[in-house]
A and B are shown apart, each in its own frame.
Chain A
Amino acid sequence: MPEQEAVKVKKRGNRLGFMAFKAAARVFGLRGAYGLLYFVCLYYVLFDRAAVRSAIPYIKRRFPGRGPAGRLLEAYRLFISQGRNLIDRFYMVSGAGKFDIDILGYDRIKSFLQGPTPKGLVLLTAHVGNWQTSMAGLELFGRKVHLMMRPEHNEAVREALSVDGGGERIGIISPDGYLGGVLEALKAIKDGDMVSIMGDRSYGAETVEVELLGGKVRFPYGAFSIAASAGCPVVVLLTAKSGPMRYVVDVTTVIETVYTDRRRKMQDIGGWVQEFASALERYAEKYPYQWFVFHDLWSPEDEVDRQ
């Protein structure tokens, strides 16, 4: 799906439902707000062809063998899951309550950050789970997190930054800055901070081809180049709702970025990106409705990102 159309779908969802969900959450609590989702998402499944079409490529790969009706059902489940994500985000941002957060892999990351040579690391994430909970979990590491992104493209980030200013805990490195922000990223890592980069969408960056859910996709590799230059690992950051009031933040997949042969570094980079793709595939197996892929990753036309 062309990126502009995908943005339009997302905005439509927010405009139509968010006010009602906010009110329901305030009056009836989370469960009440969730209850509204069943009706709203049914509307989208039945009448928003663009929304359903955007979800089908992922659903076909993750749930092979489903017929048309089965795929509609999976799309419905995916929309509900995303809706819960949005409601939970509002719940946290508004201060109405908190979720319990389990951090898997905490000790290993903590020991790296407290090692003899203070250095940060690169976090590689994807459009999964709840961004708010991953930031809440990362607070425990006591380091500033720099997000390499365009803030105008991410409503969750805008909300978080508007609520608490972000400033000390969260920074933004714009890829529109000088040299795509890579020098800022290297400085942040050198200062002992963490740099978070989205790994399942290229946004025009250079990509490599890897295997994912039985097909080939192209994922960006800039995170690994930066990490290799900075001498730090890439930590895959994935979050998922694991219970009614519980989230898990998974930082167990740590990819060491040391070139075996710099003259053939793209081979190493390809292997590292494949490790990330494999981590995503394991995630999709365990939490199929929490990876919000609303475009065709497997289509060569998705290379519009690279233009």
Chain B
Amino acid sequence: MSGYNEERLASIKARLKELLVSELSLEDIEPSEIADDEVLFGEGLGLDSLDAVEIVVLLQRNFGLEIQDMEKGREIFYSLDTLAKYVHDNTTA
């Protein structure tokens, strides 16, 4: 059994999908087309380093989150799933 509130995690993922499409101007993608475990950089969604900068801003503005340990960025930004779990663990419902 995971330590996550699955319903809340699903809600966070849905919100992140919407934000990624709107904030990163992903014109040809609908939020529903982003898989829950979609890899964000390189393959998968194919985001680049400047998109990472925008995701940092997106987390600050929408979830009040500042990534304290940038060295954990590789884990956090790996996929939509890891990003959502980071938000889940660092925010309250």
Contact = CB atoms under 8 A, between A and B. Distances in A.
Do A and B interact with each other, yes or no?
Answer: yes
Q: Which of the listed residues B48, B52, B53, B56 has the most CB atoms from chain A within 10 Å of its own CB? A: B53
A19 interface: no
B57 A179 contact: no
Contacts of A182: 49-50, 52-53
B45 to A, nearest CB: 13
A253 B48 CA distance: 29
Nearest to B72: A183
Given A178-B74, A183-B73, A262-B23, A229 B56 contact: yes
Interface residues of A, number: 17
Interface string B57-82: 10000000001001101100100000
What's the dominant secondary structure at chain B's contact region?
helix
B23 A179 contact: no
A184 interface: yes
Contacts of B23: 262
Given A178-B73, A179-B41, A262-B23, A186 B56 contact: yes
Contact of A222 (B50, B56, B57, B71): B50
B77 A179 contact: yes
Nearest to B51: A179
Interface in A150-179: 175, 178-179
A229 B57 contact: yes
Contacts of B52: 179-180, 182-183
Interface string A18-33: 0000000000000000
Interface of A: 175, 178-184, 186-187, 206, 222, 225-226, 228-229, 262
Given A178-B73, A179-B77, 13 more contacts: A179-B49, A180-B48, A180-B49, A180-B50, A183-B56, A183-B73, A184-B70, A186-B56, A186-B67, A206-B50, A225-B50, A225-B53, A229-B53
